[in-house]
Amino acid sequence: MKGVESVENVKSVNGMKGSRAYDVIVVGAGPAGLYSTRLLEKRFNVLVLEEDKEIGKPIQCSGLVSKNLDNFVKVDGDCIENEIKGAIFHSKNSEFRLEKSASIARVIDRNRFDSSLARGLKSNILTGTMVTGIEIGEDGVKVKAEPGGKEFVSRMVLGCDGPNSIVRNHFGVRPAEIIRGLIAITKEKDSSGLVELWFDKELLDDGFFWKIPRGESVEYGMLSKDADFAKLEKFFTPKLKGKSYERRAGMIPIGIQKTYFPRTLLVGDSACQVKPWSGGGVVYGMICAGIASDVVSKAFGSKDFSEDFLKQYEDRWKKEIGRSITMGLMFREFLKDIDNQGIEKIFDKIKKKGIDNLNMDFPFASFQ
């Protein structure tokens, strides 16, 4: 590993002792963490720590992902539940449809997809291992974990541990806002290929309801700071009210926050690298994982792990997706303030642009 300061098979990093020392410790085995590991392990000795016992479980989010995902990984066929060609938008008083002949997105099984990202990795992945704290020293990082009071040391750490990130919390950083996404999955067959979205300010002040055909099942959901299953059931009566269904719930961090610290980078949900209008973050997390991997390599090459050096990571990811997140935050605040008449005006603008000019991950690029 030319140009890389490897610590493989060493039990300390300049006096910081642990059960074993690594170049990089990745905290969190979601898409951002696993893709970061895929890129980093080509040059570095990487350890992945995941608090859940099984990668991909529990499932806390939807599986609707744009085909931009193909720019980063090949999605295995057994992960794909349905192909999406468009959407039907509903307001209180109107609706319209945008549809293409070819698919623009996929519904994927997140358990299978996340598991597929772990297959083939050479790095050590410890599941059922909850990080409880980190210590940043002058010469390395110590990561503490349970059960067993384990301690690991490394040169750097990547916090890819989601909306309640232990790594992020160590530095006293908090998202500007946390909203909730709730999902109910029923055993209905639906391969229609059209997502449906409902906006009604009298029902949800800051979000929307949705329906996603998953082929062998149907997903009903809602996104809002005030989301709860009673509201979801009421809106989708008679599909949900009094019926049995699979429940999923997740917290979504919203905002722009600091993502670099001494020997530390935050990637994915822990860094609020999500779309403020939908809560999706798989593609954004992979974009930022690629940038993080490159900056980590440069840090090892220059032997500079300082906060000042690592600032380039944030500068670069903001250049890639920062404008989209900022515009999304502005749209979210705008959505809070407008009434149903304002929703109709937004619908008119979307209809004029058409689906050919809209990108699920970068929709505001077409509204310049």
Res 367: pLDDT? 53
Span 322-334, average pLDDT: 94
Span 313-319, average pLDDT: 98
pLDDT in tens, 353-364: 766 566 788 887
b/e per residue 163-192 (b: at least 16 CB within 10 A): bebbbbebbebebeeebbbbbbbbeeebee
Closest CA to 65 of 81, 78, 46: 81
Distance, in Å, from the CA atom of 98 to the CA atom of 115, rounded to the nearest integer, reads 33
- Predicted TM-score (pTM) of the model is 0.92
Pairing of strands 21-27, 46-49: parallel
Mean pLDDT score of the chain = 91
Q: Which domains does the chain have, with CATH numbers?
A: 12-57+112-174+258-333 (3.50.50.60), 64-110+177-253 (3.30.9)
**Rg for the chain (alpha carbons), in Å?**
21
Tokens, residue 366: 């077409």
Tokens, residue 66: 């744009």
- Residues 291, 340 contacting (CB under 8 angstroms): no
Res 359: pLDDT? 77
Res 28: pLDDT? 97
Tally of CB atoms within 10 A around 79: 21
User: Is the pLDDT score of 17 beyond 80?
Assistant: no
pLDDT in tens, 98-153: 998 899 999 999 999 999 999 989 999 999 999 999 999 999 999 999 999 999 99
pLDDT in tens, 193-218: 999 999 999 999 999 999 999 999 99
Res 4: pLDDT? 31
pLDDT in tens, 34-63: 999 999 999 999 999 999 999 988 888 889
- Residues 340, 91 contacting (CB under 8 angstroms): yes
pLDDT in tens, 254-287: 999 999 999 999 999 999 999 999 999 999 999 9
